[in-house]
Amino acid sequence: MSEPTKIFLPEKDAPTHWYNLNADLGALGVDVPPPLHPGTGQPVGPEDLAPLFPMELIKQEVGGERYVEIPEEVRQVYRLWRPTPLYRAHRWEKALGTPAKIFYKYEGVSPSGSHKPNTSVPQAYYNAQEGTKRITTETGAGQWGSALSFACQMFDIACKVYMVKVSFQQKPYRRALMETWGASVVPSPSDQTAAGRAILAKQPESTGSLGIAISEAVEEAAQRDDTKYALGSVLNHVLMHQTVIGQEVIRQLEMAGADWPDVLVGCTGGGSNFAGFIYPFLAEDVDGRHAKPRIVAVEPAASPSLTRGRYAYDFGDTGQMTPLMKMHTLGHDFIPAPIHAGGLRYHGMSPQVSALVEAGLVEAKSTTQMPMFDACMGFVRSEGILPAPEAGHAVWGALQEALACKESGEARTVVFNLCGHGHFDLSAYDAYLGGQLEDYEYPEAAIAESLAALPHVG
Amino acid sequence: MSEPTKIFLPEKDAPTHWYNLNADLGALGVDVPPPLHPGTGQPVGPEDLAPLFPMELIKQEVGGERYVEIPEEVRQVYRLWRPTPLYRAHRWEKALGTPAKIFYKYEGVSPSGSHKPNTSVPQAYYNAQEGTKRITTETGAGQWGSALSFACQMFDIACKVYMVKVSFQQKPYRRALMETWGASVVPSPSDQTAAGRAILAKQPESTGSLGIAISEAVEEAAQRDDTKYALGSVLNHVLMHQTVIGQEVIRQLEMAGADWPDVLVGCTGGGSNFAGFIYPFLAEDVDGRHAKPRIVAVEPAASPSLTRGRYAYDFGDTGQMTPLMKMHTLGHDFIPAPIHAGGLRYHGMSPQVSALVEAGLVEAKSTTQMPMFDACMGFVRSEGILPAPEAGHAVWGALQEALACKESGEARTVVFNLCGHGHFDLSAYDAYLGGQLEDYEYPEAAIAESLAALPHVG
């Protein structure tokens, strides 16, 4: 073996700061237009966000400090699973017969099995610091809800999760995981909020949606002084917290004596694991230490905001309660097909990641879920680790790079982010193996229809 | 922090050999009587086992070589998850207010989520070396079946798993995991073996048992030249393969600058994770480097072979097809209550571990599942990691030690083996949280009845 299979970064070498892309937007030639208040059309200010978020997170959202120190209390919790391992995919390379050198960062070792606790922990911490007693949030399949439940437990904050009713009914184990960490989980729409009651009055049998659940969580947070709201992706501060991923990768590649990567691959839903993985590589470019690698974002064809969406101002939620954000969007009314990568079923994209694509710094690709699962099967049968369907999109993207290397004979270094394990997604693998998996192509007509309803702003 | 939270052993320092307790039985003053042929009453020889196991494993079963080299091909697969991390439970210690220093070895990072691949991988490897094309086995809840499926995939061997029918029906995700690794899974009793057909003729609605599934797997292996059988615990070679666990722990404690442990705690079903954890500490004692710590085995009160069984010759299976083994047994007809720690629902115990208990080198304790889950809740809410219910018995045992330290004010070093994660066991946590968990005390009458049917041998 020229290089080890797993590269573990010692705790003492773990990142001490998050990297804030806001500081380097100018150097990168990237413009991220500000979020706008839907009523006034003016940029939203801190006071607009104060009912929902603690002030420190609002500062991080808009701040320009290049490196933000990670509080020691947060680092103590991070140490339960961080630094996460970087793997060299020796066995997969061999199975593929590719000269590519493939590395993958594995975020599935966290308590909830994905990268989400990288931000839920600091969000809970800053809330605790500012006296928040309760946090509300929404969850679909449950990844974000369980990560926030875990984090709130660590800082003695009550956590209330509005869980899309159909998932609440179909995924009792995800609910049990959240409750194990002390959260209170209610099926949405519920009778506990005006938003929920309004839906139930019209559709008593509603099985809910992420849009409705957001409305309920935001309403409760806005109305109670002791309660704030937390979001698991899209926003700048959320993406910044994820930059521990990429910083660790860079140090681990150095430890392994690996070449500087030729290409980075990640999956995108709201953009947070992708951003956390790639941003520190952009900083290396800005500082002139290493040229930017090619960077590839992979999204599902069923929810193709970067590859088929419009770069425009739109709402972050179906209920039109959030500020308007300039992003790649399929329209806030767009409801993606029920693909198994539930964490990528979002109509929009983080404004920062959208701006990077617009600036040509990031390429976007998409795949339907059948070839994605094909790629995962090859991966799991070589490497042992079962990817979550979300992470499977990055596996598929890395496979394309590996096959291109096989074709050209080039030994490129490919690094991808495996953002979560698939132990909670075995029903998806079961459907795939049983030939029951539906493939979903680009929903052309539905996208055209929802894009027609975009607000005329900006 | 005086010591880090996670201690990672570099791959270059991973064990290169397994430790074979057979070599030190004399030095330890431990007598392990040989398995007997049920027909002749004579010790079984290699020829009796040859239809079921490859010769190298039979040699390991009876061999006296103190250290057996781990083949490089096996070490390559081990590297996908080994060395596993050792954790210092800083947060749990603080939550408990104990002066104890608690460490835990975490085997849940393996591809199938438990310690089982430590032996399934070498078993598949030696079979492949000797030309085996297919391996059969049985599985109850699915942990062993999935570990063997993974291992067979790594060495291109077909794997057929007879899965207890009630589990096959209730745990489709476990089945899906095995199929993802390429195994063929059939519900047992099946119509594919004489043993299965005989059961179905008498009881068409039979939901199966581990005993029946063993009979089917053994029958198929015995009848086909290209097919062998694999067992996930109990046997000497299986326990030996697990000694990578304890060897790593010793090196990691040294790395952490920790004191030599005062007490080791593990859970016991068939005994393999426990043995693999503690045996290397016995070797340290034999070599005069470190005195033996106190060693505590924790088993479920519902299946209490060590604490309430008889030390006697008995069959390893309900169907009376295996050799007779001298062990702590509840009687081969004993069927444990449906506790959630499915991996500990076994009527017997490894002969080696039984002999260590008889010799006074190991203490045995038991707990019902309610206090065990109580202990797990405290653990998961401090440490984040969700223990499998089997591993939860070790958590409970470590908790008793931590509380004793709190009582006495002593800062003892407690090390336990967390042999698997609970991501596949959320229905158990759900039942616990919902107040639906039944507690099962010692089944006095059932044990007395099954012990009365013990064979009169040895």
**How far apart are the CA of A247 and the nearest CA of chain B, in angstroms?**
19
Contact B60, B230 (CB under 8 A): no
**How far apart are the CA of B79 and the nearest CA of chain A, in angstroms?**
6
Average pLDDT score, chain A: 95
**How far apart are the CA of B262 and the nearest CA of chain A, in angstroms?**
24
d(CA B89, CA B210): 36
Q: What is the pLDDT of residues A46-73, one digit of tens each?
A: 999 999 999 999 999 999 999 999 999 9
A377 contacts in B (CB within 8 Å)? 180
Residue A94: both structure tokens together: 């061999």
A80 contacts in B (CB within 8 Å)? 5-6, 87, 91, 383-385
Give the per-residue pLDDT at A259.
95
Is B55 a residue whose pLDDT tops 90? yes
Residue B445: both structure tokens together: 């009458």
Contact B421, B399 (CB under 8 A): no
Q: What share of chain A is helix, strand, coil (3-state, %, to 5)?
A: 45, 15, 40
Q: What is the pLDDT of residues B406-435, one digit of tens each?
A: 999 999 999 999 999 999 999 899 999 999
Taking the C-alpha atoms of B351, B354, B360 and B364 in order, what is their torsion angle to the nearest 10 degrees? 150
Residue of A nearest to B12 (CA): A4
Contact A168, A185 (CB under 8 A): yes
CB distance B426–A383 less than 8 Å? no
Q: Given A5, A12, A381, which is nearest B11 (Cβ)?
A: A5
Give the per-residue pLDDT at B431.
93
Interface residue of A5, A121, A157, A174 to substitute, partner B, most B CBs within 10 Å: A5
Q: What is the mean pLDDT of residues B100-120?
A: 97
Residue of A nearest to B182 (CA): A381
CA-nearest of A86, A89, A56, A92 to A74 is: A56
**How far apart are the CA of B6 and the nearest CA of chain A, in angstroms?**
7
Is A2 a residue whose pLDDT tops 70? no
The model's confidence at residue A333, banded by pLDDT at 50, 70 and 90, is confident
Domain ranges of chain B: 6-14+71-113+237-451
What sign for the dihedral angle of Cα B161, B166, B168, B174? negative
Angle at the Cα of B222 (from B221 to B223), degrees rounded to 5? 95
CB distance B430–A172 less than 8 Å? yes
CB distance B181–A4 less than 8 Å? no
B173 contacts in A (CB within 8 Å)? 426-427, 430
Q: Of all residues in chain B, what percent carry a pLDDT higher than 70?
A: 99
Least confident residue range of A206-210, B149-153, B451-455: A206-210
Q: What is the mean pLDDT of residues A137-161?
A: 96
d(CA A219, CA B46): 72
Average pLDDT score, chain B: 95
d(CA B113, CA A386): 11
Interface residue of B174, B180, B255, B425 to substitute, partner A, most A CBs within 10 Å: B180
Determine whether B288 is exposed, middle or buried from the number of CB atoms within 10 Å of its CB (0-12, 13-18, 19+).
exposed
Is A1 a residue whose pLDDT tops 50? no
**Type of residue at B11:** E
A150 contacts in B (CB within 8 Å)? 384
CB distance B5–A11 less than 8 Å? yes
Q: What is the pLDDT of residues A359-417, one digit of tens each?
A: 999 999 999 999 999 999 999 999 999 999 999 999 999 999 999 999 999 999 999 99
Give the per-residue pLDDT at A458.
57
Interface residue of A72, A385, A386 to substitute, partner B, most B CBs within 10 Å: A386
A12 contacts in B (CB within 8 Å)? 4
Q: What is the mean pLDDT of residues A224-248?
A: 97
Q: Which residues contact A12 (CB under 8 A, 6 or more apart)?
A: B4
B6 contacts in A (CB within 8 Å)? 11, 79-80
**How far apart are the CA of B447 and the nearest CA of chain A, in angstroms?**
34
B177 contacts in A (CB within 8 Å)? 386, 426, 429
CB distance A180–B5 less than 8 Å? no
d(CA A117, CA A131): 21
Q: Given B5, B8, B153, which is nearest A381 (Cβ)?
A: B153
- Sheet of B184-188, strand order: B184-188, B158-164, B134-139, B227-229
Give the per-residue pLDDT at B2.
52
Residue A36: both structure tokens together: 């706008």
B89 contacts in A (CB within 8 Å)? none
CA-nearest of A364, A349, A260, A359 to A307 is: A364
Is B113 a residue whose pLDDT tops 90? yes
Phi then psi for residue B321, to 5 deg, are -95, -20
CB distance B377–A180 less than 8 Å? yes
**How far apart are the CA of A92 and the nearest CA of chain B, in angstroms?**
11
A7 contacts in B (CB within 8 Å)? none
B182 contacts in A (CB within 8 Å)? 381
B8 contacts in A (CB within 8 Å)? 8, 10
CB distance B384–A111 less than 8 Å? yes
**How far apart are the CA of A87 and the nearest CA of chain B, in angstroms?**
8
Is B374 a residue whose pLDDT tops 90? yes
| Candidate CATH numbers 3.20.20.450, 3.40.50.300, 3.40.50.1100, 3.20.20.70; the one for domain A6-14+71-113+237-451 | 3.40.50.1100
Residue A61: both structure tokens together: 């959202």
CA-nearest of B211, B253, B227 to B85 is: B253
Q: What is the pLDDT of residues B76-87, one digit of tens each?
A: 999 999 999 999
Question: Of residues A457 and A121, which shows the higher confidence score?
Answer: A121
What sign for the dihedral angle of Cα B449, B450, B451, B456? positive
Please list the alpha-helical segments (H only) found in B287-409.
305-308, 351-358, 369-383, 389-408
Give the per-residue pLDDT at B1.
45
B4 contacts in A (CB within 8 Å)? 10-12, 79
CB distance B386–A111 less than 8 Å? yes
Q: What is the mean pLDDT of residues B121-134?
A: 98
Residue of A nearest to B89 (CA): A80
CB distance A430–B173 less than 8 Å? yes
Report the complex ipTM. 0.92
d(CA A148, CA A151): 5
